[in-house]
Amino acid sequence: MTTTATSPPGTTTPLGAITALGVAELKLLLRNRTAATLAFLLPLAGGVYFALVLSGDGWAAAITFQLLFTLGFTVYLTATTALTARRQDLYLKRLRTGAASDAVVLTGLLLPVVLLAVAQTALLLGISFAAGAPWPERPGLFLLAVGGGAAMSCVAGVLTSGVTSTAEMAQLTTGPYFIALVFGSMVATAGEVDDWVAFVPGGAIGLLVRAAWGGPTTQVTLALLSLALWTVAAYAASTRLFRWDPRA
């Protein structure tokens, strides 16, 4: 990713450009019924389901799946689909004709899904508390799981959009990351696990949530290291694979 992009007319600062782009992207997202359903309704419906069904196995498991559903659909899938669609209709290309940097443009486009995921996480956590979930013993670890997971999923979305030719193809290209989230979280919340689980994206998040709700903390450092490594690796790969022009 290079350093030339554009900010919308009337914005002269990076913050102004990010805000204007974020508002515009949110409006585009709301106009697309499929994208809006995946970003808004599906994570909330899934989160309520997990609170009702999985709480008997321990609230750490239920809240882990709530968080991963939000990160997977609201952040990762929406980011991948939106960036691919904006590239194919030449919107990304037009944004590069002005003064804002590529980082500002991408931040503005991705800001709505991140803020939406944070709001959904807070709402689902409130639903879990209302359903009987205890307050986390180590809330800081949960915040790290939310922040680290959102950053990793956001960058993974940028990377995946670079190898996705159309928005429809995102249903296939997002599969491997989804599998890693689900598989890792299932193993991490099953009981005592080996250290390698921390290096699966979903496993790292699951271990942090589990530790936040009173579980063992012996693998917290590995989980945090894993989130950082996955985020950095996805960013490095996206600088080579992300495209601003439509793919053939």
Handedness of CA 76, 82, 85, 90 (dihedral sign): negative
Section 84-95 average pLDDT: 88
Q: How far apart are CA 28 and CA 54, in angstroms?
A: 35
What's the pLDDT score for residue 41?
76
The three-class DSSP label of residue 202 is helix
What's the pLDDT score for residue 102?
84
What's the pLDDT score for residue 3?
37
**57 vs 190: which has the higher pLDDT:** 190
Q: Residues 196, 201, 202, CA angle at the centre, nearest 5°? A: 95
**11 vs 236: which has the higher pLDDT:** 236
pLDDT reading at 244 higher than 50: yes
Q: Which two tokens stand for residue 32?
A: 């697309």
What's the pLDDT score for residue 56?
58
47-61, 96-110, 208-222: which range is least confident on average? 47-61
Q: Are 117 and 76 in contact (CB under 8 A)?
A: no
The H or E element spanning position 224 is helix 220-241
Q: How far apart are CA 8 and CA 186, in angstroms?
A: 43
Section 126-149 average pLDDT: 93
Q: How far apart are CA 127 and CA 121, in angstroms?
A: 10
Q: Which two tokens stand for residue 67?
A: 């968080």
Percent of the chain clearing pLDDT 90 (strictly above): 51
Q: How far apart are CA 161 and CA 91, in angstroms?
A: 14
Q: Give the distance between the most distant pair of CA atoms in the chain.
A: 55
What's the pLDDT score for residue 248?
63
The structure's pTM equals 0.88
